[in-house]
Each structure stands twice: as structure tokens, then as C-alpha cells.
């Protein structure tokens, strides 16, 4: 048995366009009742909004197929300090997740300063957050991505957090990919074991790194930010590299990953041009 954790931007879509063939792979998983989740480090949108966007692109999925870093952050904080308080630099998706987990949003004396993505960041917010941190609040980031590639590029959560870290001398705790907090929680959401989990992503520094660190099988799609030549810069490698998710078949991945003997035989066998094993 295998199940899948699937990045979205660069794997399922680019910008506002579905990557050709992505719908076929997802439909195969749906028709065969294979467990999967879409993972995103974008905390701006609520789970339902992300699902609606994917549905409008033509994917047959439900809200339950989406797992965001905002959800992971809210659940983590609810476990650490139930019914706590947070000062939030972020937008609707993060606020909704925190409220759903029993958190109150405050503008003074919070337990946590929580930072996510957003277009409304101001210096006044940074100043307020800094003074709260110096007053004893803990700094939590939904992720440490330095930029957001959507609609061009803009500073991401990691860039905002870096400024607060430098000003306060306090290091943030990050929950989103590649943190094991989010990726392990997503695996458990699907009731998978480590050996049954396959991470499909386009970014070495988040998707593949997180999968490697947790012992998941990893598939790098070259349809996003990473190019084949980039791999020489990394000390770790994905188990499999494909041009896009359209090159994947569930049966092929079962043969490769689900049985140690089958994986050895598959490693020795000639490969289709679109499927390139790169580990080892």
C-alpha cells in the first residue's frame, strides 16, 4: 500500500493553469481509493478555499484532501497550549485555522506571535510584534519560505520572520514544510506508515528535504522550480525524478516502492525516458 503527500504549485498547477496530466493522476488515485493529501505552505487561504480553487481547475477532490501549513500551525499550538492567544501577522486562512483550534486573536499580551503570508504587512505590525516578543511572547512561523512565487514574486513568510528574528534575537519555530511537525501530521491524517508514504514535490529545499528527513519515498517533479542540474548542489537526492506528475502511474510506484524486492528489480530494469531513478 502507498499513499501520497502532494505539493500543489509547480506540481499540480503553474500560476492559474493546471499542469497537463495532473487531473489524470489524481483521478486514478480517487477511482482506486488511494489515500492522498495536497500540502501547501501558503497560509493565506482556508482549506475550503484551496479545495474550491482545485475543483475549478478540474480536479475531482474534496475539502478533506487539502492540508495547509495554517492548519498544521493551529493544531500544533492547540496541542502546546490549549485555548491560548496569538497576535497574528497573516490573512484569512491562518485566522480561520486558529479560531477553529480554539485560539483567540489578540493585540496585546499574546502567548504567541504567529507569522504567515500576506499582502497587508506594515511596519506598525512589525513594531507591535517585536515588543510582544521582547515582552515574552513566543515566535512561531507557518513556514520559512523566503518568497512567494505566485503572480510574480513577493517576500514570503520566511523574509518577514527573519526581520523579527534579527530585531528580537529570538529564533522562530517553523511548522510548515520541511518541518516534521507538518509532514508527520499529514502522514498520520492518512493513517499511513512511514514506508507507505510518498512525497511528490517540485522543491528540493522543502518537499524533498522534508520527505528525506522523515524517511518517506520522494518524487521530484521538474515542472516547477527545480531543474535537473540543480541536484548537484544538494547532499540528498529524491528517490525518483519525473518531468511532471503526468508521468506517474500508481502501479509503477507500487512496483518500485511497495516491495523491497520489486524495488531492487526495478532499479536493475531499463527505465522509460520520463522516469529517472536518482537515489543511491
- pTM over cut 0.85: yes
Residue 16 in 3-state DSSP? coil
Helix, strand, coil percentages in the chain from 3-state DSSP, rounded to 5? 40, 20, 40
Domain 3-41+177-277 matches domain 81-174 at the CATH topology level: yes
pLDDT band for position 119 (50/70/90)? confident
pLDDT band for position 265 (50/70/90)? very low
pLDDT exceeds 80 at position 226: yes
Q: In the CATH hierarchy, which top-level class contains the domain 3-41+177-277?
A: alpha beta
pLDDT exceeds 70 at position 152: no
pLDDT in tens, 61-79: 999 999 999 999 999 999 9
Q: Which three cell numbers stand for residue 32?
A: 482506486
Tell me the average pLDDT across 83-96.
Answer: 96
Domain boundaries, the chain: 3-41+177-277, 81-174
Tell me the average pLDDT across 19-39.
Answer: 97
Closest CA to 85 of 62, 109, 61, 64: 109
Q: Which three cell numbers stand for residue 278?
A: 536518482
Q: Which three cell numbers stand for residue 23?
A: 487531473
- Extract long-range pairs of 277-280: CB within 8 Å, 24+ residues apart: 277/239, 277/240, 277/241, 278/220, 278/231, 278/237, 278/238, 278/239, 278/240, 278/241, 279/237, 279/238, 279/239, 279/240, 280/237
pLDDT band for position 60 (50/70/90)? very high
The rounded distance, in Å, linking the Cα atoms of 130 and 125 is 8
The rounded distance, in Å, linking the Cα atoms of 146 and 162 is 9
pLDDT in tens, 165-195: 999 999 999 999 999 999 999 999 999 999 9
The rounded distance, in Å, linking the Cα atoms of 64 and 186 is 11
Catalytic machinery residues: 7, 9
Residue 25 in 3-state DSSP? helix
pLDDT, greater one: 133 or 120: 133
Just give the CATH number of 81-174: 3.40.50.1000
The rounded distance, in Å, linking the Cα atoms of 190 and 92 is 26
Amino acid at each position: 500500500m502507498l499513499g501520497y503527500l502532494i505539493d500543489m504549485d509547480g506540481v499540480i498547477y503553474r500560476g492559474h493553469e493546471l499542469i497537463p496530466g495532473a487531473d489524470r493522476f489524481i483521478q486514478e488515485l480517487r477511482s482506486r481509493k488511494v489515500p492522498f493529501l495536497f500540502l501547501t505552505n501558503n497560509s493565506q487561504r482556508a482549506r475550503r478555499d484551496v479545495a474550491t480553487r482545485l475543483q475549478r481547475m478540474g480536479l475531482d477532490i474534496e475539502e478533506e484532501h487539502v492540508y495547509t501549513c495554517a492548519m498544521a500551525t493551529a493544531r500544533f499550538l492547540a496541542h502546546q497550549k490549549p485555548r491560548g492567544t496569538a497576535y497574528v501577522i497573516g490573512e484569512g486562512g491562518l485566522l480561520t485555522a486558529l479560531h477553529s483550534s480554539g485560539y483567540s486573536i489578540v493585540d496585546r499580551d499574546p502567548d504567541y506571535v504567529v507569522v504567515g503570508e500576506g499582502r497587508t504587512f506594515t511596519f506598525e505590525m512589525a513594531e507591535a510584534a517585536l515588543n510582544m516578543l521582547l515582552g515574552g511572547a513566543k515566535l512561531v512561523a507557518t513556514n520559512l519560505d523566503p518568497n512567494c512565487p505566485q503572480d510574480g514574486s513577493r517576500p514570503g513568510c520566511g523574509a518577514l520572520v527573519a526581520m523579527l528574528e534579527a530585531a528580537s534575537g529570538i529564533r522562530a519555530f517553523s511548522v510548515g514544510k520541511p518541518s516534521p511537525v507538518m509532514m508527520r501530521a499529514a502522514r498520520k491524517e492518512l493513517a499511513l506508515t512511514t514506508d507507505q508514504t510518498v512525497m511528490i514535490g517540485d522543491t528540493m529545499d522543502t518537499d524533498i528535504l522534508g520527505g528525506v528527513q522523515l524517511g518517506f519515498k520522494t518524487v521530484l517533479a521538474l515542472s516547477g522550480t527545480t531543474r535537473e542540474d540543480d541536484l548537484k548542489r544538494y547532499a540528498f537526492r529524491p528517490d525518483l525524478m519525473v518531468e511532471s506528475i503526468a508521468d506517474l502511474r500508481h502501479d509503477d510506484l507500487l512496483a518500485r516502492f511497495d516491495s523491497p524486492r520489486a524495488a531492487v528489480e526495478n532499479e536493475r530494469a531499463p527505465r522509460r525516458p520520463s522516469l529517472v531513478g536518482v537515489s543511491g
